[in-house]
Chains A and B, each alone.
Chain A
Amino acid sequence: MSRLTEDNVRVAHEIISRYPRPRSATIPLLHLAQQQDGYVTNDAIRHIGELVGATSAEVLGTATFYEMFKFEPVGKYLVNICRTMSCALMGGEELMHHAEHRLGIKAGSTTPDGMFTLEHAECQAACTEAPTLQVNYRYRFRVTPETFDALIDDLAAGRLDSEIPAHGTVARIRQHIPAERGVGAVPPEDATNAPSWMTVAEAPK
């Protein structure tokens, strides 16, 4: 599919300008690509390589290290159900069975309408709230078959749109760092002035 759109190229340049070296922007740009298309396309990888001065293979190598970057289309909602110890003890496995029945797919696949992708997850760091799941990395705690069904109904009807953006959007509000607060395109060894956020006020004597 697609390279970054014109608007996103603008964002990309802003992101790149925050770092001393363009390559440092690789991960944020991968997020940007995933936000644009719901997953990271090969064209986007190539485009990011061009923007940061790396080969496509280098970007691919970096990107595939991280599980949260997807390289095939995923549903609008990625549902991760925890299967690690606490959740397993509290019914995580049964919850997954239920989810598979409800959505009509096996874990690791996507509903034909492209709405839901179901995945196993390892510990989501909320053991006290077991069993847990995440929808596009937004938590749901102590999930029962009933609350799961209600969640799916709400998502399908668009009732949770304001809370849970489509897969790929890390945050709806993008941080803008004014140029003077960025490190800028100055490699550390060449920097004459420390950036403002690095200047430490001198301790009172």
Chain B
Amino acid sequence: MTTTESNEVEPAEVIVDPNAVSVTINGKQFTARKGDLIIKAAENAGAYIPHFCYHDRMSSVGMCRMCLVEVDTGRGPQLMPSCMFPVSPGMVVETESPASKAAQEGIIELLLANHPLDCPVCDKGGECPLQDQSFSHGPGESRYIEEKRHYEKPIAISELVLLDRERCILCDRCTRFADEVAGDALIQFTSRGNTTQVTTFPDEPFSSYFSGNTVQICPVGALTAKPYRFKARPWDLQEAESTCTTCSVGCRTAVQSSRDELLRYQGVDSDPVNWGWLCDKGRFSFEGVNSDDRLTTPLVRTANGHEPTSWNSANAAAVRMITDAIAAGGASSIAVLGGARGSNEDAFAWARLAHDVIGTPNVSAQLGDGLPVGVLGMNRATIDQASSAATIILLAPDLKEELPVLYLRLRDAAVKNRSRIIEFAPKATGLTRYAWRTVFYEPGTQADVVSATLAQPEIAAQLAKGEVVIVAGRANLAESSAGTTAALLALLAALPEAKVLPALRRGNVVGAISVGMRRGKSGLDSTGILNAAAAGKIECLILVGADPIADVPDADLARRALAGARRIIAVDTFITDSSRLADVVFPAAAYAEKAGTTTNIEGRVTTLAHKVTVTGTSRPDWMVAAELAQLLGTDLGFGSVLDVTAAIAAAVDGFEAVTAEALESAANGVLAGVGSFDAIATPTVALGDRNSYNFRLVVSRKLYDQAVGTTHSPSLAKLAPGGAVFVHPLDIARIGSAVGADVKVSTPKATIVLSLATDDSVQRGTAWVPFNQSGANVGELIDAAAAVTDVRIESL
């Protein structure tokens, strides 16, 4: 080697990261990201800066001044609130200098001047940022000897949340959350100076679907949630990370219990999914798991009705029913409905039992309120992709009511101007306020409306701007899925590159369908199964956590199906309207009583924690299936839930990477691949004559209804709004009845009586009835065979 040679070596290309900002934090050099706030950069560098008002998922407001640190940008060190300023090159930050410490101690002393320090009786004590930071960053004593502020204790700002005003440190987290994140600016600071307080307007409570989040992020014990207040001390709680399965968004949660009783769910920040937020329905649904009405033993029907029995005799009875059914009508006279409320493992074991052991193709995880399963075979979008797409097309139910945290994510995309929302809906939804365009359609006509809209130059220009994600689901239960399916196919024909995010609602519906709870070759879908049962062609109907009587839109069909099925086996956590009719009922382990995995709408598989002991002798669904299979002569080989998880990875298309090991190391779960599904054929939408006297019926769900999990959660049950028929204010004159009066709502098939109400989110010529509420059952009017439902509304 010669020197000349070495001189010829080209210097390595220096790659300068344009986003890197070099700063000095507590004497150490650190490379921060451009735009990072000082507080964030310091945290990344391992220097914790105390704070109260700063929250990673909300904008900075600089309310509390706790984060003051000395910052030198070249003009000499000065105190700056580190949550308000981004890093700049060469910045020198001292988080623990005498000046920083003095500032932080001063703020703590000020905040405590009026704070009651009633930690021993405060729910937050033990997990309270104010308590913790008073210890770690406070002066340890106070110069204030004056009387502290007093307020009436506590005031209810909603049905779920209580406020102890004297504990509030005015950090603006709850009010900011309500306005910025939830879009429900129903709590505000009122008054000023020493009397500033968080309040609601009289008679307008903080009835946000997301109110529980304010309790979680309040840095003191000012906000408490009624279902948890005075139930436990934080140091008595044990917790395990899990995923909410109340709906199919799949928010990450921390499930907390004490003495083997579920006491609280807290949101865990999963970046691709829930950003730390939960909806109140998911957050407080643990009450249902703890309900005294839970089934504890298997039941068999005798002459005296349901009688408790042993697992052995219930299994024997079920096996006899299955073999008798096969003997009477062949395997295909057996049908299995459900699976969407359990884990992937539950669904997979039942799918194996149904398809491979019993040998029936008649399996469905949906209950006449979903879409053809082919929607899962489309080019699937993730929630992140949806909320960063240039255009989000909604052909979906009201996401605020059905998939609440997805609503938060899409709302964020719209208000932060990342995305424009084009909404197709029969009635205004929670996202209408944020939509760039909302196109209302009369149920049944959506495919035409979609095509006409796509032809508009302005819409076409928007769609050409970048990625398009279509959120697809059923906006109206009073019409068949044909109209929505046809509209979805029309969208995809025009936008072949568009991705689809399915808005199907039951907790694990995507997982259940993906792992096999769907019809086999020439099998029946859910409506087909119900029709066959009603016609007396189903020898044995198995309900796996399914309650068709409450959940199938066509109430009459569901009733006839359960009456017509010769034998019924139910696996359920409660006696429901449907399981009441079963010959054998197996008590099922509920959420947090079993381990496993679940799949959200994107196909993201996450783990479920087994936190508390099962209720009574109940067992996870997969175990019930494995046992029945065994008794029917097939060993599925499932000795533990891990065996089932492994079997899914080995057998299910798209789930190859979803192993227990992979899940353990993946904080945000594992995205399963899209399996192969039969493509959807374009349905015909057979609309009859439109009689202009009639109203076209729109039926959709509210967040709180009479669903079994909600009615058994006392805090949530009372939030269900109750039934009524809503029309546009300008249509009220046509009816000849006053608002509040009872009216007859009828189709040729049935008549029900509901009270009349107006709502300007309802379109003219249509009538809206919320599904599954107290009062008359609107399902009586719905005909699963009809494309749409037209009703006559008359005064009594």
| Residues of chain A having any CB pair with chain B under 8 Å | 42, 45-46, 54-58, 60-61, 64-65
A57 contacts B201, C-beta separation under 8 Å? yes
A57 contacts B192, C-beta separation under 8 Å? no
Closest Cβ–Cβ distance, residue B434 to chain A (whole Å): 13
A57 contacts B191, C-beta separation under 8 Å? no
* Contact A64/B185 with A45-B201, A57-B204 known, Cβ cut-off 8 Å: no
Residues in B neighbouring A45, C-beta threshold 8 A: 201
Closest Cβ–Cβ distance, residue A130 to chain B (whole Å): 25
Given contacts A55-B186, A57-B185, A65-B192, 14 further A-B contacts (CB under 8 A): A45-B201, A54-B185, A55-B184, A55-B188, A55-B201, A55-B204, A56-B204, A57-B201, A57-B204, A60-B201, A61-B188, A61-B199, A64-B191, A65-B191
CB within 8 Å: A-B pair count:
38
Tell me the B198-238 residues at the A interface (CB within 8 Å). Answer: 199-202, 204
Residues in A neighbouring B199, C-beta threshold 8 A: 57, 60-61
Question: B171 contacts the other chain (Cβ, under 8 Å)?
Answer: no
A141 to B573, CA, bound (A): 79
Closest Cβ–Cβ distance, residue B31 to chain A (whole Å): 34
Question: B677 contacts the other chain (Cβ, under 8 Å)?
Answer: no
A64 to B189, CA, bound (A): 9
Residues in A neighbouring B188, C-beta threshold 8 A: 55, 57-58, 60-61
Closest Cβ–Cβ distance, residue A20 to chain B (whole Å): 17
Residues in B neighbouring A54, C-beta threshold 8 A: 185
Residues in B neighbouring A42, C-beta threshold 8 A: 201-202
Closest Cβ–Cβ distance, residue A108 to chain B (whole Å): 15
Closest Cβ–Cβ distance, residue B314 to chain A (whole Å): 54
Question: B190 contacts the other chain (Cβ, under 8 Å)?
Answer: yes
A58 to B201, CA, bound (A): 9
A54 to B201, CA, bound (A): 12
Tell me the B534-556 residues at the A interface (CB within 8 Å). Answer: none
Closest Cβ–Cβ distance, residue A21 to chain B (whole Å): 15
For chain A, what secondary structure do more than half of its interface residues adopt (helix, strand, loop), or is it mixed? helix
Residues in A neighbouring B190, C-beta threshold 8 A: 60-61, 64-65
Q: Can you list 12 pairs linking A and B with CB atoms under 8 Å apart? A: A45-B201, A46-B201, A54-B185, A55-B185, A55-B204, A57-B185, A57-B187, A57-B199, A58-B179, A58-B188, A61-B189, A61-B190
Residues in B neighbouring A60, C-beta threshold 8 A: 188, 190, 199, 201
Query: Number of residues in B with C-beta < 8 Å to the partner?
Result: 15
A46 to B204, CA, bound (A): 10
A58 to B184, CA, bound (A): 10
Closest Cβ–Cβ distance, residue B554 to chain A (whole Å): 39
Closest Cβ–Cβ distance, residue B531 to chain A (whole Å): 48
**B202: nearest chain-A partner, CB-CB:** A42
Residue in A46, A58, A65 whose beta carbon sits within 8 Å of that of B185 in the complex:
A58
| Residues of chain B having any CB pair with chain A under 8 Å | 179, 184-192, 199-202, 204
Residues in A neighbouring B201, C-beta threshold 8 A: 42, 45-46, 55-57, 60
A111 to B204, CA, bound (A): 32
A64 contacts B186, C-beta separation under 8 Å? no
A58 to B186, CA, bound (A): 7
Task: Kindly name the residue among B184, B188, B204 whose own CB sees the greatest number of chain A CB atoms within 10 A.
Answer: B188
Residues in B neighbouring A58, C-beta threshold 8 A: 179, 185, 188
Closest Cβ–Cβ distance, residue A57 to chain B (whole Å): 4
Residues in B neighbouring A57, C-beta threshold 8 A: 185-188, 199-201, 204
**B186: nearest chain-A partner, CB-CB:** A57
Closest Cβ–Cβ distance, residue B726 to chain A (whole Å): 20
Residues in A neighbouring B185, C-beta threshold 8 A: 54-55, 57-58
Closest Cβ–Cβ distance, residue B9 to chain A (whole Å): 53
Residues in B neighbouring A65, C-beta threshold 8 A: 190-192
B204 contacts A64, C-beta separation under 8 Å? no
A56 to B199, CA, bound (A): 11
A61 to B201, CA, bound (A): 9
Residue in A46, A55, A64 whose beta carbon sits within 8 Å of that of B192 in the complex:
A64
Closest Cβ–Cβ distance, residue A56 to chain B (whole Å): 4
Residues in B neighbouring A64, C-beta threshold 8 A: 190-192
10 smallest CB-CB distances across A and B, nearest first, come from: A61-B188, A56-B201, A64-B190, A57-B188, A57-B201, A55-B185, A64-B191, A65-B192, A61-B190, A57-B186
A65 to B188, CA, bound (A): 11
Residues in A neighbouring B189, C-beta threshold 8 A: 61
Task: Kindly name the residue among A46, A57, A58 whose own CB sees the greatest number of chain B CB atoms within 10 A.
Answer: A57
Closest Cβ–Cβ distance, residue A39 to chain B (whole Å): 15
Residues in B neighbouring A46, C-beta threshold 8 A: 201
A64 to B202, CA, bound (A): 14
Closest Cβ–Cβ distance, residue A76 to chain B (whole Å): 25
**B192: nearest chain-A partner, CB-CB:** A65
Task: Kindly name the residue among B185, B199, B200 whose own CB sees the greatest number of chain A CB atoms within 10 A.
Answer: B185
Closest Cβ–Cβ distance, residue B643 to chain A (whole Å): 53
A65 to B660, CA, bound (A): 56
Residues in B neighbouring A55, C-beta threshold 8 A: 184-186, 188, 201, 204
Residues in A neighbouring B187, C-beta threshold 8 A: 57
A200 to B327, CA, bound (A): 94
A42 to B199, CA, bound (A): 14
Residues in A neighbouring B191, C-beta threshold 8 A: 64-65
**A63: nearest chain-B partner, CB-CB:** B190
A60 to B203, CA, bound (A): 13
Closest Cβ–Cβ distance, residue B458 to chain A (whole Å): 16
Closest Cβ–Cβ distance, residue A132 to chain B (whole Å): 24
**A54: nearest chain-B partner, CB-CB:** B185
Residues in A neighbouring B186, C-beta threshold 8 A: 55, 57
